[in-house]
Structure formats: structure tokens, C-alpha cells
Amino acid sequence: MNAYKKQMKVVMLFVVIVFFVQIALCQNFARKEVKIPDVLGYRVLKCDFHTHTVFSDGDVWPTLRAEEIWLEGLDAFALTDHIEYTPHKDDIMINYNRPYEIASPLAKARGITLIKGGEITRKMPPGHLNAIFLKDVSPLKTDKWEDAIQIAYNQGAFIFWNHPGWKAQQSDGIAKWNKEQEELLKKKCLNGMEVVNEKEYYPEVHKWCLEKNITMLGNSDIHDPANMAFDFAKGEHRPMTLVLAKENSEEAVKDALFNGRTVIYKDNLLIGKAEYLLPIFENSILIKNPEVVLKGKERVNVQIYNSSEINFELTLDKKPEDISAPEKITLYGDRTVMLGIRANVKETPEKKETPEKKDMTGKKDIDLNYKVKNLLIAPEEGLPITLKIKAEFEKKD
């Protein structure tokens, strides 16, 4: 009887352990939604166009990449295994189209757009280039890199330059614009560049994209399992390309990329053209009390809600004439922040409050001009924004 009781205790303990393990697994197996608003009539798709599997030098099976993409809140991704570099070929029969074929059913079941691609892996110049939206990856295995690019171009691929400042090919970590890149651009065989690769940002590439009207991309270039590459517990996330597309489909993503409708999301940083960054900011922000009453030097709090997950870091760009406002303020993601303002008045020797300007009573439209330093429209140049409020100035009783 005692032996039976001991056995039952062991069984019950096992059941309890299994129960809690299942709960933990269910809790972990939940998609994180990336909170960035749709804008300009487009869906803002979260994408990663540079990923690897065991079919080149990655450490995971293609289906795991699709599962990671779904769990991390992304909408589309490309499998871009190296064409010329396949270190697992003794263990896995290399078929350049096979990663896409393996991952495709799961991606479709999860509502993820999967894009077929490959990485043309050559020395600098021209370096590494990804070709995506390929019909057949195999023909890109050629002796001359020029032929590989032409084959990709003939298939209607979107071709972009990977990690231009990669220290393995640029010892100083500074990207160089070569004659090969210039020639590819002239032939319309260079459609995009990675301004961000993994944890690196290349300001010179950012500048080239603006000057030469090349699509800006930010990708993970992931080889490890995602939870080894990024510390999700600390809030880290993979870099991604935000694509302004009509819908979540391969055709819509391709149209957006060829037309340059992208923004890069790295850490707490957005990088892109002002025409896309400004709507993202404006669609994220709600001023809850846009009309305020200012009496003398009393402080009034303007409540601003940020519905996105980006912490917008604002610095005052131009001091307003009629009021005082903070030099710096952070609009935290999914939070309401109070921005304190007060009327500009000064004390007379008799300690009476008089306005600095003649007309400091009545209602006025006030523009608070800031720059968002973590929304980059160019290297080291934040996005100019205006917070508009209506202020009624009253004399203090």
C-alpha cells in the first residue's frame, strides 16, 4: 500500500509538471504584435528580407524561420541562403529552391508572405547581393557574378547590396561606392541597399540611398535561432523593413520595394524618408487636450498619447514666442505623457505679473516645433514635427 501511494505521488507530480510545462509552452507560443500604425492608405508590413537556414550556413531548419517570423510579429520574409557558400553540403543535399518549398506550407498556414531568394556571395567588389522574388534560384550558380546578376534581373528579381560596411570586406567598416555598384545601378540591377544589417547602421549608405533614390532596407541576416540572436526578455527585436504595401501579398510587397516605400525599424530607431516617417508619427500621436487655458505663469499639462511601440525622443527645434515648453521630452510607446507648458510672463520690480508681449490675452493657435531625433530622415538629422494646440491666455486673478 505504501509503495502504491508513493507511485501515485510520483504520477501526480509528473502530471503537475506536465501541466505547468504545457501552460508555459502555450504562453510562449503567442505572436507579439508590432505596434506601428498603417499610413497613407497602405498597410505597414513588418518584413525581413535576409535570413539563412541549414541549406547554407544557418543553424535552423526552414520551417523554424517561418515560425519565428510569425511569433515575432512580422508579416513577410525572404529565405536567402548563400548560393556559393554551403558548409553543410556533406550533411544536406543542396537544392537551392528547397528551403522555400519546405517553409512555404507553414508560412501560408500562418498568413505569412514567403519570398524566394538567394544570396550571391562574392568578394568585394561587388560583395554580397541578395536577389528576391526569384522563380528559380539554381541558375544563379555561375562562375561570373555578372552572369548571376543578369539571370536574377531576367527573372524580375529585386536585387540589393548586403551589409556594404561589413568589416570582413571593408576593414574600416566604412562602405565604399565602387564602379561595379555604379554600373549595376545604371543597368537597373541594383534596386536596394541595406542601411541596417543585424546590429550595424551604415550612415554613408543611408546618404547614398537618398542621393541615388535607392530603396532603403534593414534586415537581420540571421543565422542562429532568433532567441539566441536577440534577447527578447530585454525587449530586443530583429531589425526589419517596414513596407508600405496595398496588401500582404508577394505582388504588393514587390511593388512597394521597387517604388521605395520602406522605413527601417532598428532598436528604437526609424530610418526613412520624411514623407513616410511623418505619417507614422502623426498617426501614432493623439493630443488628448488640444485646447488649454494659461493663467499667468501657472503650468498646464498637455496630455499626449503615443499608440505605437516607439519611444519618440523629441528635442525643441524652435522656441515658441508666447509660451515656454520643454527642451526635451520622450513620448513613450503605449503611454500618455504630460508636456508642461506655461505662458511667457515676467515680473516687474513691484512683483506684479505683466505680459512680455502686448497682446497676451485671448485665444491663439500655438505650434510647438520639435525634431524627433530617433526618426532619421538623413544621417544625424531627426524628423521635424509640429504639435498643434489652442491656448487661451488669461490674466491671473
Percent of the chain at pLDDT exceeding 70: 89
pLDDT at 1 over 80: no
Which residues have C-beta within 8 Å of that of residue 9, sequence separation ≥ 6?
Answer: none
Residue 173's pLDDT band (cuts 50, 70, 90)? confident
CATH class belonging to 285-394: mainly beta
User: Crossing angle for the helix pair 98-109 and 62-71, nearest 10 degrees?
Assistant: 30
- The mean-pLDDT minimum among 23-27, 87-91, 247-251, 380-384 falls in 23-27
Architecture of domain 33-272 in CATH?
A: Alpha-Beta Barrel (3.20)
Q: Are the beta carbons of 228 and 171 closer than 8 angstroms? A: no
Look at residue 321 in the predicted model and tell me its pLDDT.
Answer: 86
- The mean-pLDDT minimum among 37-46, 291-300, 348-357, 361-370 falls in 348-357
Q: Which amino acid is at 368?
A: L
* Most confident of the ranges 168-172, 344-348, 366-370: 366-370
The mean per-residue pLDDT over the stretch 37-41 comes to 98
Fold agreement (33-272, 285-394): no
Percent of the chain at pLDDT exceeding 90: 80
Q: What is the pLDDT of residues 151-160, one digit of tens each?
A: 999 999 999 9
Q: Mean pLDDT in the chain?
A: 90
pLDDT at 262 over 50: yes
Look at residue 320 in the predicted model and tell me its pLDDT.
Answer: 87
- The mean-pLDDT minimum among 156-170, 180-194, 356-370 falls in 356-370
pLDDT at 357 over 60: no
The mean per-residue pLDDT over the stretch 131-159 comes to 97
Look at residue 149 in the predicted model and tell me its pLDDT.
Answer: 97
DSSP code per residue over 94-139: --TTHHHHHHHHHHHHTTPEEEEEEEEE-PTTT-EEEEES-S-SGG
User: What is the rounded distance in angstroms from the CA atom of residue 141 to the CA atom of residue 89?
Assistant: 15
- Based on the number of CB atoms within 10 Å of its own CB, is 61 exposed (0-12), middle (13-18) or buried (19 or more)? middle
Q: Are the beta carbons of 163 and 130 closer than 8 angstroms? A: no
Q: Is 215 helix (H, G, I), strand (E, B) or coil?
A: strand
The mean per-residue pLDDT over the stretch 135-140 comes to 98
pTM: 0.88
pLDDT at 346 over 80: no
Q: Are the beta carbons of 244 and 44 closer than 8 angstroms? A: yes
Look at residue 183 in the predicted model and tell me its pLDDT.
Answer: 96
The mean per-residue pLDDT over the stretch 253-276 comes to 98
Look at residue 22 in the predicted model and tell me its pLDDT.
Answer: 45
pLDDT at 11 over 50: no
Q: Are the beta carbons of 130 and 192 closer than 8 angstroms? A: no
Which residues have C-beta within 8 Å of that of residue 225, sequence separation ≥ 6?
Answer: 59, 60, 64, 68
Question: Domain locations in the chain?
Answer: 33-272, 285-394
pLDDT at 195 over 50: yes
pLDDT at 10 over 70: no
Residue 6's pLDDT band (cuts 50, 70, 90)? low
Look at residue 2 in the predicted model and tell me its pLDDT.
Answer: 59
Print burial letters for 219-257: b (CB count within 10 Å at least 16), e (below 16).
bbbbbeebeebbeeeeeebbbbbbbbbeebeeebbbebb
Residue 175's pLDDT band (cuts 50, 70, 90)? confident
Q: Minimal CA–CA distance to 148: which of 119, 125, 175, 185?
A: 119
User: What is the rounded distance in angstroms from the CA atom of residue 77 to the CA atom of residue 132?
Assistant: 10
Q: Are the beta carbons of 159 and 192 closer than 8 angstroms? A: yes
Look at residue 297 in the predicted model and tell me its pLDDT.
Answer: 87
**Residue with the larger pLDDT of the pair 85 and 19:** 85
Look at residue 211 in the predicted model and tell me its pLDDT.
Answer: 97
